[in-house]
Amino acid sequence: MNWNIFAWVIIMFFALSWSWGMTKPYYRTRFNLFAVNWWWICIAIVLFIKISPFYLFLLMPLAVIIGFVLPGLLGSVVMCSVISAGLYFIK
């Protein structure tokens, strides 16, 4: 199995399982909604720009940490800045 496929399996496991968890009211917190929404946005960016899925192993934990420390608009601004900086240095 290719390493990229293995990375996508791990990424989709976390994204789909946390997304499924959002169907339960107990787990639907502001922190979890922020993280899961940004995970799907990052997955779409990686698919659209066609960069390595290993970039998501950095972005997904950052979305969780930023969502916990800076939820809301400020956290979204920080996540946009992190994604933009990462794409600037990757390309």
Please write the tens of the pLDDT for every residue from 24-74: 888 888 888 888 999 999 999 899 988 889 989 988 998 889 888 887 888
> What is the DSSP code (8-state) at residue 17?
H
pTM of the complete model? 0.85
Distances in whole angstroms, Cα of residue 79 to Cα of each of 11, 60, 76: 18, 10, 5
Cβ–Cβ < 8 Å for 32, 20? no
Where is pLDDT greater, at 91 or 22?
A: 22
Q: How many residues are listed for the chain in this entry?
A: 91
Please write the tens of the pLDDT for every residue from 80-89: 998 888 888 8
